Chain A
Amino acid sequence: MTTIDPTQVPELAPKKKGMPWETYEHGHHWRTAEDEFDAAKLGMWLFLSTEVLLFAGMFVAYAVLRMKHPEAFINGSAYLDVFYGGLNTVVLLLSSWTVAMAVRCAQLNHQRWLKINLIITLICAVAFFAIKITFEYIPKLSAGKAPGRFFSYPYAHDPHEPLWWAVYYVSTGIHALHVIIGAGLITWVLVRSYMGKYGPKNYAMVETAGLYWHLVDLIWIFLFPLLYLVH
């Protein structure tokens, strides 16, 4: 007759006391917390690969239309202000860094700095969106530099400039949508970090939300030179 050692069976182990992250039990269908964590991350990476392919469609559209109408794209890029594009790049890079620091703080149980880093990330997200709307979208749209058939700017030069604006608004717009979704995820992680959910034994959600935020940064790293700098 075999005896069961209760310390080796998670279901039979005595209930632990402590912060929520300390008493966190991984799903019973996983052998170990390690397996659960790795699977969560693998799932996030698979999702990120589909996100990359979503933006790949826009990058291909950019490449094809640029090859067909180079002058419209050269001129289109000149309508954009490198200063605000660069500022938004710096804002996103900074927020990416604070997210990486937040993951580190969760791993090391620095609860206070975990929250501070997440709050800075949120502020950066809001700043990015505000700069985008107030200094880029509103002045351009009110001047008639709108995509496709909504185009009404009378001082354009190349007949295909409405096409450039379509590429610009779709790619930056869907990127901005990702900024909003990412900010929502970070907010959720922040709220749960106030509930004490994250610490060295359980930080998968910080890590995966962070991965999503890094992807937002990653896409912008390519959008910025393509839209603002390539002339």
Chain B
Amino acid sequence: MTHQAPNPGDPNYDWSDPHGFHHDAEGHETHGHHTSPWQLLVGILGALLFFTALTVWVAKGEVWLTETTDFPITQLWNVLIAMSIATIKAMLVMMYFMHLRHDNPLNTWIMLFTFLTFAVFLTFPALDIANRDAVNPFKQQVAVAGGTGVAQKHYGPEGDTWTGISKVDWLREKQIEKDIEKYGADEGEWQYWKHFYDEESHYHHHVHRYVREDLPADSILWDSKNYFARWEAEGGGHHGDDHGGGHGDDHTDDHSDDHSDDHAADEHAEESHAEGGDHGSGDDH
């Protein structure tokens, strides 16, 4: 809405009213300040709720698509789709709830300039990180592997390097030590991983959802039960070869190159799971 010049000569002019100088000659208010119709505001609320539902639904759809088809949605698209919907919602809020549509355009320009600044903040670190591994040809002769080592300084449970492992690994070792105290040396580590896969793996959605051929063997994107079976097959817990018996033989077969066959992997997982249960109950004797 463009602003009319105030006209103090107008007898209807009211100095103390932001609407004042928009009275016309007959004294009717022409509303210099836009008052949003309530129908519009309700409509915008409805649109915002719709887009919220849409973004949740799309995110679930992407998971479903990646799970059930051979058409995985990459992270880039997750972010792009979710951020596009969020941008539409933000524009609705700013244009109608925050009245930018009917406001002094200067306020809109301030916001646009702010978002431009934000884009600059985002772009340069992204360029940096995306090109970290790039080595200019003329430097290739002298490039050495490894960084300055500064980052290593803070890599450890208490901000130091005396254990040489990450905090996550350190906490895991501590918990396994506790479990060993509780369940005994044979049983402890196995109990840890049983708890990990049975009780906590629902947090690791991506552990048990995707079964994909192109992932490295230690990726967390593995099927969790499958992963548990693999962990056992590789000698984890006391199901290792030293105990001999049927378990070891079952698990050390062609499992490592069997990932593409979901069905077989699932069967295998079920089997190993059932054995795990049996093991737990048969522990008493």
| A contact set with B: CB distance below 8 Å | 7-8, 10, 13, 16, 24-26, 31-34, 36-38, 41-42, 45-46, 48-49, 52-53, 56-57, 59-60, 63-64, 67-68, 70-71, 74-75, 78-79, 82, 86, 89-90, 93-94, 96-97, 99-101, 103-104, 107-108, 144, 149, 151-162, 200-202, 204, 207, 210-211, 214, 217-218, 221-222, 224-226, 229-231
Contacts and interface: CB of A to CB of B under 8 A. Distances in A.
Interface stretch (B82-90, B228-236, B240-248, B276-284): B82-90
B83 A68 contact: no
Given A34-B20, A45-B107, A71-B221, 4 more contacts: A97-B44, A149-B159, A202-B18, A214-B98
B90 A218 contact: yes
Contacts of A104: 35-36, 38, 41
A84 to B, nearest CB: 12
Nearest to B158: A149
Contact of A45 (B32, B82, B110, B129): B110
B171 A34 contact: no
Contacts of A149: 158-159, 167
B21 A34 contact: yes
B205 A231 contact: yes
Q: Give the bracket for the number of chain B residues in contact with chain A.
A: 35 or more
Nearest to B173: A154
B93 A217 contact: yes
A154 B86 contact: no
Interface stretch (B112-120, B138-146, B258-266): B112-120
A207 B104 CA distance: 14
A34 B3 contact: yes
A197 to B, nearest CB: 14
A198 to B, nearest CB: 12
A176 B19 CA distance: 36
B78 interface: yes
Interface stretch (B180-188, B195-203, B249-257, B267-275): B195-203
Contacts of B21: 32, 34
B168 A158 contact: yes
Contacts of A26: 15-16
B110 A214 contact: no
A154 B175 contact: yes
A52 B112 CA distance: 11
28 contacts: A32-B21, A34-B6, A42-B104, A49-B114, A53-B114, A57-B121, A59-B122, A70-B75, A71-B221, A78-B205, A78-B206, A89-B52, A100-B36, A151-B167, A151-B168, A153-B171, A154-B174, A201-B18, A201-B19, A202-B18, A207-B99, A217-B97, A218-B90, A218-B94, A221-B86, A225-B86, A229-B55, A229-B78
B45 A93 contact: yes
